[in-house]
A and B are shown apart, each in its own frame.
Chain A
Amino acid sequence: MTAFLQLHLLTAYPPANLNRDDMGQPKTADFGGRARLRISSQALKRAWRTDAVFQQTLDGHLGKRTQRLGRDIRDHLTEQGVEAAQALTIARAVAGIFGKNTDDKKAPEKQADIAQLAFISPEERAAAFAAAEAMRATGAEPKRDAILQSVDTAVDIAMFGRMLADAPDFNREAAVQVAHAITTHAVTVEDDFYTAVDDLKRPAEDAGAGFVGEAGFAAGLFYLYACIDLDLLTRNLGGNTALARAGVAALIRAAATVAPKGKQASFASRTHASYLLAERGMAAPRSLSVAFLKPVGAGDPLAASIKALRDQRAAFAEAYGDAPDFAEMAVGEAGGSLARVIDFATGW
């Protein structure tokens, strides 16, 4: 048995083209026999992963990219009174574990650097400094296996996994499952016919446009579902539950506030989720998408969608039992907030 955290979000986007196919049209899917707008899971995950707030929140646990580890080690040693030449030798030996040392004779300040950026986790940095101290004390050459770590501190890989066809031993099973988001209602993709005007062309000369084109767009209220295997996430992070919780919090915040970047310059379709439901329990996870199998009608689609989602949750609980605990936030209703849902989701 495993503890699963399930997230259900309702997010309304104004006219947008967030995720498009090879023809440039917004992606769609048939659901319950009607066409819906769709955002693929990979587009969502990339948007969350590369979001600035997500990156900042998990700063230090997503690693640091630098060429300058050796420089820091050299400076650390000289501050402790180690002779400059010896400090440089030690720094080059330790930094060399992460990549080839630079050999720029004209820039002596760079002699401890490595030629390429290396992605270094906090643990690896600490191990590198320890190896430098050891080499200074005993002259022992730094060992690669004592410094380089597996990906146990990289929250992004622990969440979304990776597959390396050539090195399957380094594969990671993703702890976070994200569904393609679909609209709760039927949608028809529209075409925007547009013209671009040449600012320097005078009407007397030629009144025509400089360029004409068409761009597909559509608006809709999306249902988004994600499921986090909390046990696997913690395992992927080497048993670090605090880091797993921080990752879950950052993920929920990103899912509720970050939109895919597609065509943002043309549509500025950034938006936050209007409804967020988090469920935690051992029962087999299931999406609540069947609430929208019959498309939500016109009128007040948000209120109708929230109601449909709540009703579906209650109907499942009654019919199948074993319902997970939950917390929710409905914008405009008292009592719920993103912070409270995050508190609930990380309260294990």
Chain B
Amino acid sequence: MASLLFFTLYAPLAGFGDLAVGERRIGADRPNRSGILGLCAAALGLERDATAALTALSAGLDLALRLDADGRVVQDYHTVQSVEAPKRAKQPWPTRAAALAAGNVSTLVSQRDYRSDLFVTVALHARPGTDPGLLPRVATALARPVFTLYMGRKACPLGLPLRPALVTAETLGHGIDQYDATRPIPEQRVRAVLRLGEALRYVADTGWQRDDLLGPEFTCERTEQRRDAARGGRGWQFDLRDELVLSRRKPEGRAA
């Protein structure tokens, strides 16, 4: 039996990034690992420079996602009034008004991808050897977070309460079924309007397979590489990571 933490992520607009250099800021069709762990870190109140705690969080947890709906791409044309920085500035502008007063004003253009109506169920499992208090702490923090939580971009607030729940189960599938059984009415209504039925797909960190938490009902369709393993610190640098793309077959033999 394992202790699993589940929570629900839904937002009218979500903006989970992908490799984004230059004007075109593309987005991924599902949350990235660093995005979900960042959300947990924000709930716990970890600052961006709390490198040790962030590394421990990332090293201690295995993540799995059920993609209930991957939404539709919304491309936002975004302009920013920008100011050319002074050449040998000892200190940046103290305020934006000061920057604008100095002149050299121009426009930065970017195209940013968002996803509307993205609906994801998240599962977290503590890797063997991790502090057993970590998962319950994350669960408590998600209900009463320290920082504002959002779906990838700050302009993307949550559309439903996260409903964090610790579930004891043998496998991911058993846990997620227990979690689904306790859906409150507002969540049921949202699912009905969005016509959510069977999951589009499941993805999981390789640790779920290693720790034998997938059970026979899950088949690994393929392994995808994603560049979202945060190196920690403020460098915004990410390493490649293997992610299992799974399909689920329920005991009756029905694909889910």
List chain A positions with a Cβ less than 8 A from chain B: 1-2, 4, 21-22, 27, 29-33, 38, 40-42, 62-63, 65, 116-119, 121, 148-151, 154, 156-157, 162, 164, 166-168, 170, 173-174, 177-180, 182, 225, 227, 229, 232, 282-287, 289-290, 293-294, 312, 315-316, 318-320, 322
Contact of B145 (CB < 8 Å), options: A2, A42, A166, A225: A2
Say whether B77 faces chain A, with CB atoms less than 8 Å apart.
yes
B42 to chain A: closest CB distance in Å? 10
- In the bound complex, do residue B98 and residue A286 qualify as a contact, i.e. CB atoms below 8 Å apart? no
Contacts of B162 in A (CB 8 A): 284
Bound state CA distance, A251 and B195, in angstroms? 37
A171 to chain B: closest CB distance in Å? 8
Say whether B88 faces chain A, with CB atoms less than 8 Å apart.
no
Contacts of B194 in A (CB 8 A): 32-33, 293
Bound state CA distance, A168 and B150, in angstroms? 22
Contacts of A2 in B (CB 8 A): 45, 144-147
Closest to B71 in A: A30
Stretch of B123-131, B183-191, B209-217, B218-226 at the chain-chain interface: B183-191
- In the bound complex, do residue B93 and residue A285 qualify as a contact, i.e. CB atoms below 8 Å apart? no
Bound state CA distance, A118 and B145, in angstroms? 39
Could you tell me which residues of chain B, from 144 to 170, have a CB within 8 Å of some CB in chain A?
144-150, 154-163
List chain B positions with a Cβ less than 8 A from chain A: 10-13, 43, 45, 48, 72, 74, 76-78, 80, 85, 91-98, 101-102, 109, 114, 116-117, 142-150, 154-163, 184-187, 189-190, 193-195, 234
- In the bound complex, do residue A42 and residue B92 qualify as a contact, i.e. CB atoms below 8 Å apart? no
Q: A30-B72, A62-B97, A164-B92 are contacts. A4–B78 as well, Cβ < 8 Å?
A: no
Contact of A284 (CB < 8 Å), options: B78, B94, B144: B144
A117 to chain B: closest CB distance in Å? 4
Bound state CA distance, A263 and B37, in angstroms? 41
- In the bound complex, do residue B155 and residue A284 qualify as a contact, i.e. CB atoms below 8 Å apart? no
Contacts of B109 in A (CB 8 A): 22
- In the bound complex, do residue A42 and residue B193 qualify as a contact, i.e. CB atoms below 8 Å apart? no
Closest to A117 in B: B101
Contacts of A31 in B (CB 8 A): 12, 116-117
Name the 7 nearest CB pairs between A and B, nearest first.
Answer: A119-B98, A319-B184, A41-B155, A117-B101, A21-B77, A22-B77, A287-B157
